Every structure is written in C-alpha cells, then in structure tokens.
Amino acid sequence: MEQQAHFFYALELPGEVKEKIKDTYRTLQESFSFKTWVHPQDLHITLAFLGNAAPEKIKFSNALIERSIRNSASFTMEIDHLGLFGQKDAPRIFWAGLCRSASLSNVRDNVFSACLTAGFKLETRTFSPHITLARKWTGESPFLYKMIEESNPFKDEKLVFNAERVVLYKTHLGKSPKYEPITIFPLASRKNQ
C-alpha cells in the first residue's frame, strides 16, 4: 500500500547551485556521519509544509500564491554557514544556512499567509531558512559542534545565486530523488521592476 503523498511550497535552487552543493558532499561526508544525505535534485528552501492535502485546498492556495507573489521580484541569496537542528551531540538535521534576506522573508510571508487563508494548519515555529543536507547523526562519538565551522565550505566564499521560482512539491517516499515539482510560480524578473 502506497503512503499518502505530502506537499510543500519551497524556493527552488538553480541547477548549478545544486551541483555546487553536491560538489561539497564528498568533503562533508568525510567529516560528518549522517544516515541519509539529501539527493542534490531534492535541495530546496521550504516556505510552507502542507502535509497530506486535498486537491481543492491546493488549488485554492495555488491561486492565492500566484496572486500574492506576482509582483515579487527575483532576488539574490547567499549560502554562508552550516547548522544543526536537534540535540547538539546527536543532531537530526544538518543544513546549509542563508544570509538574512528581507526579500526571502516577504516571499515566505506571502506563501505562508496564502496557505493559512486556504485552510492549512502550518507549523508556528519561527522561520529559519535553510537547505537540508543530511539527516540523523550516526557517528560513533558525540557530534562536536566546532567541526561545523572547521568544515564549512562556504566560510571563505559564499555561494551566491538568484532566487527565481517558488515551487509546489509532492513527496514520493522511498524514491530518490523524492520531490516532484507540481506547480511553478516564477518571481518577476528584476528587469521588469
């Protein structure tokens, strides 16, 4: 029996950024023992996680999102640090972090509000924009937080890219890559602003 699909809205990473992050995996995997490393095609910045969702609610939220971000311009993002979620000595999520961005916050707020208006119950935690790289620490010894700064491939040279599209993804558990783009919402070209 197939598990129910989950849906989420995310900021898409350009293909060349996914490739550059993939290039850092070998070095990171030598330093960090995590059970699962995210497939490079699945790298993204989550804006709103919907879970299992009725088609009517998705259609409604899609219409609201299209309207709310129609005039939002594409914007520059910078990946500059690494971080963790979960216990410090046995983290469950290892991620790449982004420099603060008012443009990202505005797009996320518009997407989040549209989903709430469409009737979705969303997480209320503070938005912490990140790109999940790996899950579940499996190292024999406790994780040493200082290793993050020592192994950060972005500390000397930030990874800079242009954020151009919000995407509704569908999750296919057990597949790799497991996130399928369903609907794409392009941000306005900065030339048109």
Q: How far apart are CA 56 and CA 61, in angstroms?
A: 9
DSSP 101-151: -HHHHHHHHHHHHHHHHTT-----SPP--EEEEEEEE--SS---THHHHHH
The one catalytic residue among 6, 44, 81, 172: 44
6 has catalytic annotation: no
130 has catalytic annotation: yes
CA gyration radius, the chain: 17
Beta pairing partners, 85: 93
Q: Which of 185, 190, 188, 187 is nearest to 9 (CA)?
A: 185
The one catalytic residue among 39, 81, 130, 172: 130
- Residues marked active site are found at 44, 130
